[in-house]
Amino acid sequence: MTRRKVKLAFISSNSARKASYNKRKRGIIKKVRELTVLCDVPGCIIISNPFNPDETAVFPDREGAMQVIERYRNTAMKDESKNVNQQSFLLQRITKGREKLERLRHDNHEKETGIRMLDCIQNNKLPDNLSIPDLHDLDKIVEKNLKEIENKLVQLNLSN
Amino acid sequence: MTRRKVKLAFISSNSARKASYNKRKRGIIKKVRELTVLCDVPGCIIISNPFNPDETAVFPDREGAMQVIERYRNTAMKDESKNVNQQSFLLQRITKGREKLERLRHDNHEKETGIRMLDCIQNNKLPDNLSIPDLHDLDKIVEKNLKEIENKLVQLNLSN
DNA sequence: GGAGCTATACTTAGTGA
DNA sequence: TTCACTAAGTATAGCTC
């Protein structure tokens, strides 16, 4: 009907862009599926939705894509530069976190000791359990964060 | 020239499969690039090479793909656990706030009506403007709180 | 093996319901 | 909004070199 030649540039019209996005997304996913079947090749694709950030198009699915990505990471190990950086970054964070945790533990210990001493002086005996919830909670939060970072690092190591 | 209809199945001929793989791979990457430009969307694709496991086709490149993947991981995780709860919590607060506001408005209206009637009776005319500052202020405070909560929710949605 | 060609199949922009 | 339609543009199977 009309001219249909499209130049390769951002489509400024909101509705036109959305229409194009949906059609092309479907087309691409179809083609990827065809390729994986025709050639029996693992492949994946991830495309964000510009109109709904919650919805990301993924082929073949979340898990399948992650498998392909992991495999890719494994084989692409030679290209170490980036992961090494990422790894050293995480190691740095772990070190800092551990230091912070140590400081907290030290502080807590001092405070506990002080309280124990006071208690000892007042009651003339040392209690078995002394609960300082706030301090321990802080401790736990830091520890939990560290665990998360460590898990990330472990995943990274496994995938390298 | 000859039949070109291709059924969606593994191509057994080695050479034909390789030819098809190379042509289609190029086509797909071209289409993904077009989509990312036309719609300004982050997207990536990873396709293994069936003939050379060391060589994996990646768009836009290793780092770009990893960025897309990380973003996808983060947003996918966030949604499931954290934001859903936070969001429903905020929605609950908005609903309750709206109900409270409605009750206040209803009360105000009744009071206004009562005062207008009194005024009408005393002066034998209906005033155009009747200011009841205290009630209106209360109204505004509630509304302001609601706005703040709604803004939070909007931000949350945008960041997803 | 890949490069180039061409006829055909497929994709999709624009449109209207 | 999303569907279906269709013309025009694009991708590619099969071929030759």
Digit-coded pLDDT (tens) for B51-109: 888 789 999 999 999 999 999 988 876 555 544 555 555 556 656 666 666 666 666 66
**Share of residues in chain B with pLDDT > 90 (%):** 34
Q: Tell me if residue B58 falls in helix, strand or coil.
A: strand
DSSP single-letter state for residue B81: I
Nearest to A25 by CA among B144, B34, B22: B34
List strand C contacts in B 23-42 (CB < 7 A).
31, 38
pLDDT (tens digit, 9 = 90+) per residue, A72-81? Answer: 887 766 555 4
Residues in chain B within 8 Å Cβ distance of A28? 28, 31-32, 35
Whether a cis peptide bond, with omega within 30° of 0, leads into B50 is: no
Is the pLDDT at B29 greater than 60, yes or no? yes
HEC per residue, A5-67? CCCCCCCCCHHHHHHHHHHHHHHHHHHHHHHHHHHCCCEEEEEECCCCCCCEEEECCHHHHHH
- A82 in a domain, yes or no? no
Structure tokens at B35: 């989509």
User: Could you tell me whether strands A43-48 and A56-59 are parallel, antiparallel, or unpaired per DSSP bridges?
Assistant: antiparallel
- For residue B75, what pLDDT is reported? 80
Print the domain residue range for A46: 14-73
Residues in chain B within 8 Å Cβ distance of A40? 10, 50
- A8 in a domain, yes or no? no
**Domain closes at, from A30, A47, A73:** A73
**Domain closes at, from B73, B91, B120:** B73
- A9 in a domain, yes or no? no
C-alpha dist (Å) from residue B95 to A116, B63, B148, B149, B154: 50, 44, 14, 11, 15
C-alpha dist (Å) from residue A42 to A39, A64, A73, A156, B55: 9, 9, 13, 21, 13
**Domain closes at, from A73, A90, A116:** A73
Determine whether the distance from the CB of A24 to the nearest atom of strand C is below 7 Å: yes
pLDDT (tens digit, 9 = 90+) per residue, B118-149? Answer: 555 555 554 444 444 444 554 555 556 556 65
Test mutation, A23, A45, A66, chain B, max B CBs within 10 A: A45
- For residue B132, what pLDDT is reported? 43
Torsion of CA B12, B17, B21, B22, to 10 degrees: 170
* Pick from A35, A47, A68: CB nearest B28: A35
Contact B65, B92 (CB under 8 A): no
- A1 in a domain, yes or no? no
Query: How many domains, in total, are found in chain A?
Result: 2
- A3 in a domain, yes or no? no
List strand C contacts in A 3-22 (CB < 7 A).
3-4, 6, 16, 19-20
- B59 in a domain, yes or no? yes
The pTM is what?
A: 0.55
C-alpha–C-alpha distance, residues B124 and B146, integer Å: 40
Tell me, what amino acid is at A13? S
> Mean pLDDT over residues B153-159, rounded?
51
The H or E element containing residue B89 is: helix B84-123
- A95 in a domain, yes or no? no
pLDDT (tens digit, 9 = 90+) per residue, A103-151? Answer: 666 666 666 665 555 554 555 544 444 444 444 554 555 556 556 655 6
- B52 in a domain, yes or no? yes
CATH value at residue B23: 3.40.1810.10
* Pick from B58, B72, B159: CB nearest A56: B72
